[in-house]
A = this chain, B = another copy of it.
Amino acid sequence: MGRTRHETFTCAAGCTVEATLNLIGGKWKGVILYRLLTEEVLRFNELRRLLPSITQRMLTNQLRELEKDGLVQRTIYPEVPPRVEYRLTDEGRTLEPVISALKAWGDRYVANRAD
């Protein structure tokens, strides 16, 4: 299925902002990345449990995109029943400051809306 927006990366100034958003701006990617940053390694169904309202379809989908973009690593253990683990790649781990910034700002914003 479709990637969430994805053009070639011939950018002018400031367009790299969009480039980043194209990678992490998917409907669930933010939370997925956040979870993998804090939990280090997660199985498919563990992720599902952490993202209560996501469908399997979308989880698979988003994970595949993150994998294709080199941000997430997928490890398959040839067992029965099958086990698949997801963790961030080195590249993916460099997103930590970005996700932190998003979360920090969101925390403040949501808190202020509470008044």
Q: Does A31 sit within 8 A of B, measured CB to CB?
A: yes
Say yes or no: A18 contacts B30, CB within 8 Å.
yes
Number of interface residues of A (CB under 8 A): 40
Stretch at the interface among A56-64, A76-84, A106-114: A106-114
Interface digits, A7-40 against B, CB 8 Å rule (1 contact, 0 not)? 0010100111111110111011011011100100
Binding site for B on A (CB under 8 A): 5, 9, 11, 14-21, 23-25, 27-28, 30-31, 33-35, 38, 91, 94-95, 97-110, 113
- The 8 tightest CB contacts between A and B, nearest first, are A16-B106, A20-B106, A17-B30, A101-B101, A14-B34, A25-B25, A19-B106, A20-B102
